[in-house]
Amino acid sequence: MPALPRVDDVYITLGTTMAAAGSQSAFRAVDYDAVMATARAARAAGATRCGVVTAMGANAQSRIFYNRIKGEVERDLQQLGFETLVIARPSLLMGERRALQQAHRPAESLSLKLFQWLNPILPANYRARPGAEVARALVHAVQSGRPGLQVLSGRALQAG
């Protein structure tokens, strides 16, 4: 990755799906390697605060590949020395994806419709969230500058 100009904060929302990636190694190249390369480049450019979107269930010890990669990136970001690290762990992200030229995903479309109907009765951590809402919560938490690690999930990801 090329050197970045001087920065204070970095926001990383890189991610793909297994279907779009086509293989576990290609998925890892985006969701781990590219995330870590971006964070390292930002850190080298002076960033002291980092906000990243991973996923509910992120766990470096998980038997589920997706959750394991998300957990590994969370673990390894903590080793880079950011004064503030904010991790957003949404359940399911809602939002328009056609502008991103992503393939139609029928199962995800069905899940989103189901989540929208069930959202009022689901526990906060399991509710689908609009991507813009997650972004606002992440930016607010990073810019508050509270030192250390913050993990945002559930109600903390609601627009405030």
Other Cβ atoms closer than 10 A to 112:
16
Helix (H) or strand (E) holding 52: strand 49-53
Residue 3 pLDDT level (bands cut at 50, 70, 90): confident
Residues 6+ apart with CB under 8 A from 15: 30, 31, 53
Which carries the bigger pLDDT value, residue 17 or residue 83?
Answer: 83
pLDDT-derived band at 159, boundaries 50, 70, 90 = low
> What type of residue sits at position 70?
K
The mean pLDDT of 76-102, rounded to a whole number, is 81
**Whether 15 contacts 24, CB under 8 Å:** no
Residue bearing the bigger pLDDT, 1 or 152: 152
Q: Tell me, what's the pLDDT at 122?
A: 62
pLDDT at 117: 62
Token look-up 């930016």 returns: 139
Between 8-22, 52-66, 146-160, the lowest mean confidence (pLDDT) is in 146-160
Q: Look at residue 53 and tell me whether its pLDDT is greater than 80.
A: yes
Give this prediction's pTM.
0.84
pLDDT of residue 119: 59
Q: Mean per-residue pLDDT for 86-101?
A: 72
Residue 103 has pLDDT above 90, yes or no: no
Mean pLDDT of the chain: 85
Joined together, the tokens standing for residue 50 give 């980092």
Q: Residue 93 pLDDT more than 90?
A: no
- The pLDDT assigned to 129 comes to 74
